[in-house]
Amino acid sequence: MSSRFRIRTYGCQMNVHDSEKIANLLHHHRWSEARGEDEADLLVINTCSIREKAEHRLYSDLGALRAWKRAAPGRALGVGGCVAQQEGDALLRRFPHLDFVFGTHNLRRVPAMVEAARAGQRSARVDESRSLERFDWPERHPATSEHSPGRAFVTVMEGCDMFCTFCVVPLTRGREISRPARDVIAEVEGLAARGVREVTLLGQTVNAYGRHDVRRGRAAAAGTLGFAELLERLAGVPGIERIRYTSPHPLFFDDALVAAHGRLPALCPHVHLPAQSGSDEVLERMHRRYRAADLVRIAEALRAARPDLVLTTDLIVGFPGESEADFRATLDLVAEIGFVDAYSFKYSPRPGTRAAELPGAPEPAVAQARLEELQGLQRGLTLAAHRARVGTRTRVLLEGPSRRGGTQLTGRDPYHRVVNLDAAEAGLDPERAAGVLLEVEIVEATPHSLIGAPRVTAGLRTGPGQAKFRKSPSGPGPMRTVAARSGVRMPGID
Ligand code: 5AD
Ligand code: SF4
């Protein structure tokens, strides 16, 4: 029987990486990747339930895939990810052409579930596990490619104990669990040996890495460290030139993490700081456990440590009880911090979350108008930040051909901005450019990206400002956060 698979992935980078893990596992079980779904014997949908729209995508996909399933005998169809975790075997009952359902802690069961499906057995596994086994994966198979050459995701922790009232993630990803540091370091060393230059550390609250172990005095036993110390170790891995992490929670920007941004040249000068709102009342109802002023302080501290650092954020409008004044506070915060980009969303009630019970959600038209106003403000900030880059130099890690077509290439600079450039100008074959690290001068700014021109020179200016790296003699400090100094109680830290 031929064995070719395809995976459709929705949602966050953790899902993208989970799909890579599933693909790797299937390669180890003698499957190969099909060029398209038409040629596939197995189709896996990796789902997202962060907002209602994302969840509905699955239901419309599954409806449309009845025809795919019927079109060839022996085809198998599976669903994983956050919707699978929440719905479990209800999905099997609702969709008779669906063969298997696997939860967020059950990825490693996929090959066995596929085999069962091919033998005519339907199954659902969504049991939660607190075991570290979920971090055990076979070595990357030679046929498994990274989402982009030269760059790789590395899981450092999973789950979330924060329970923001709007968020379904603690219900779909379970409790926080951190992976032993030596395993993370070994994985990064292995990636570097294969030519990976940029790693993005992943976790639902990635900078909470190790915090429970550190607080309980059992970090040595668990093999974990504070997050800043982990970064320090990874920055020492030869060949790794860029380290990013996503997504952090503002609460866990402790002094050591802020200092790491000043001390470690490999740590990219970009931080995603999910604000969600600029109103203290809304933040309280969201159970975010910080105030708007704490975010301003974190931004200032990060920029003091690394003057060229840029910030991006996530924002929600139309949260239950959000008044016009609350929304203005969000606009004010965005303008004050000067985010270089923002992902903004209309609040979407999620079943099982506390906010779903809260009264007072603004009218949909009001939420829509707020979203548009916020996005308008952000567009101006983004364009201004891009224009300020014109004339500066930076280094771009190329990802491949740009969507703009022709000989255009696309990549990212250390600030995580998209930079497009011409392959011919750089003397590169567009098909082989992915993974190349190139020095460029920014020659033009557009609303969504920068245009670069290749430059080969010895000196390197780094962008918005000259990066200064301070040597800190003290090393990672105790787990105190910037917010802690302002008197906010730190759950799990104080
Ligand atoms: N409605 C709207 N946006 C949400 N997010 C998370 N849950 C919801 C929800 N119920 C947003 C937050 C988070 C990002 C990943 O998605 O801004 O940071
Ligand atoms: Fe969701 Fe909040 Fe956890 Fe982020 S920190 S995953 S927003 S509950």
Residues 412, 379 within the same domain? no
378 shares its domain with 413: no
Q: Are residues 303 and 162 in the same domain?
A: yes
Residue whose tokens read 């790491």 = 260
Q: Is 411 within a domain?
A: yes
Q: Give this prediction's pTM.
A: 0.91
Two tokens at 266? 């490999």
* Contact by Cβ (8 Å): 194, 139: no
Same domain, 42 and 168: no
Contact status, residue 58 vs residue 79, Cβ threshold 8 Å: yes
Which token pair is 364?
């949909």
3-class SS of residue 305: helix
Residue 482 lies in a domain: no
Ligand 2 within 6 A of 205 CB? yes
Please state, in angstroms and as integers, the Cα–Cα distance from residue 62 to each residue in 37, 47, 238, 489, following that order: 14, 11, 45, 45
Structure tokens at 158: 């999973």
Pairing of β 123-125 and β 100-102: parallel
What atom in ligand 2 is closest to the CA of residue 168?
Answer: 1
Claim to verify: residue 292 and residue 152 sit in the same structural domain: yes
For ligand 1, which residues put their CB under 6 angstroms from it? Answer: 50-51, 166-167, 274, 276, 314, 316, 345, 347-348, 350
CA distances in angstroms from 5 to 8, 75, 78, 348, 391, listed in the order given: 10, 10, 11, 33, 46
Residue where a domain stops, chosen among 333, 361, 385? 385
Q: Strand locations in 48-190, DSSP E?
A: 76-80, 100-102, 123-125, 151-155, 157-158, 177-178
Q: How many domains is the chain partitioned into structurally?
A: 3
- For ligand 1, the distance from its centroid to the CA atom of residue 50, given in whole angstroms, is 6
Domain boundary among 345, 362, 385: 385
Mutate which of 13, 49, 104, 162 for ligand 2? The one with the most ligand atoms within 8 Å of its CB, which is 162
Q: Which ligand lies nearest the alpha carbon of 277?
A: 1
Residue 22 CA to ligand 1 center (angstroms) comes to 25
Q: How far apart are CA 227 and CA 14, in angstroms?
A: 18
CA distance 260 to 209: 15
Residue 62 dihedral angles phi and psi, to the nearest 5°: -65, -35
Ligand 1 closest atom vs CA 355: 10
Instruction: Going residue by residue through the chain, which has 494 residues, state the pLDDT in tens, using 9 for 90 and above.
Output: 569 999 999 999 999 999 999 999 999 999 999 999 999 999 999 999 999 999 999 999 999 999 999 999 999 999 999 999 999 999 999 999 999 999 999 999 999 999 999 999 999 999 998 888 888 888 888 877 666 789 999 999 999 999 999 999 999 999 999 999 999 999 999 999 999 999 999 999 999 999 999 999 999 999 999 999 999 999 999 999 999 999 999 999 999 999 999 999 999 999 999 999 999 999 999 999 999 999 999 999 999 999 999 999 999 999 999 999 999 999 999 999 999 999 999 999 999 999 999 999 999 999 999 999 999 999 999 999 999 999 999 999 999 988 888 889 999 999 999 999 999 998 998 888 999 999 999 999 999 999 999 997 543 333 333 333 333 333 333 233 333 333 333 333 22
DSSP sequence for 187-247: HHHHHHHTT--EEEEE-TTGGGTTHHHHHTT-HHHHT---HHHHHHHHHTSTT--EEEEE-
On whether residue 268 sits in a domain, the answer given is yes
Total Cβ atoms within 10 A of residue 162: 20
Among protein residues, the one with the nearest Cα to ligand 1's atom 6 is 167
311 CB within 6 A, ligand 2: no
132 in a structural domain: no
Candidate of 12, 48, 86, 167 to mutate for ligand 1, largest count of ligand atoms within 8 Å of Cβ: 167
Q: Do you find a cis peptide bond into 247, omega within 30 degrees of 0?
A: yes
Q: Provide the domain limits for residue 37.
A: 4-127
Identify whether 262 is part of a domain.
yes
Q: 247 C-alpha to center of ligand 2: Å?
A: 9
- How far does the centroid of ligand 1 lie from the alpha carbon of residue 167, in Å? 6
For a mutational test of ligand 1's pocket, the pick from 51, 169, 206, 272, i.e. the residue with the most ligand atoms closer than 8 A to its C-beta, is 51
- Ligand 1 centroid to residue 51 C-alpha, Å: 7
For residue 437, what is the domain's CATH number? 2.40.50.140
| Among 13, 49, 204, 288, residue to substitute to test ligand 2 (most atoms within 8 Å of Cβ) | 204
Q: Is 286 in the pocket of ligand 2 (CB under 6 A)?
A: no
DSSP type of residue 276: B
Please tell me whether residues 289 and 336 are part of one structural domain.
yes
Q: Is 160 a pocket residue for ligand 2 (Cβ < 6 Å)?
A: yes
In what order do the strands lie in the sheet containing 32-33? 32-33, 4-9, 42-47, 76-80, 100-102, 123-125
pLDDT digits (tens, 9 = 90+) for 300-347: 999 999 999 999 999 999 999 999 999 999 999 999 999 999 999 999
Q: Exposed (0-12), middle (13-18) or buried (19+): which is 76, by Cβ within 10 Å?
A: buried
Ligand 2 atom closest to 163 (CA): 8
Residue nearest to atom 1 of ligand 2 (CA): 167
Let me know whether 213 and 325 are in one domain: yes
Helix (H) or strand (E) holding 454: strand 450-454
Q: At what angle do helices 227-235 and 181-193 cross, to 10 degrees?
A: 30
What is the 3-class SS of 395-412, one letter each residue?
A: EEEEEEECCCCCCEEEEE
Q: Whose CA is nearest to atom 2 of ligand 2?
A: 164
286 and 333 in one domain? yes
Does residue 204 line the site of ligand 2, with CB under 6 A?
A: yes
Cβ contact 98:58 at 8 Å: no
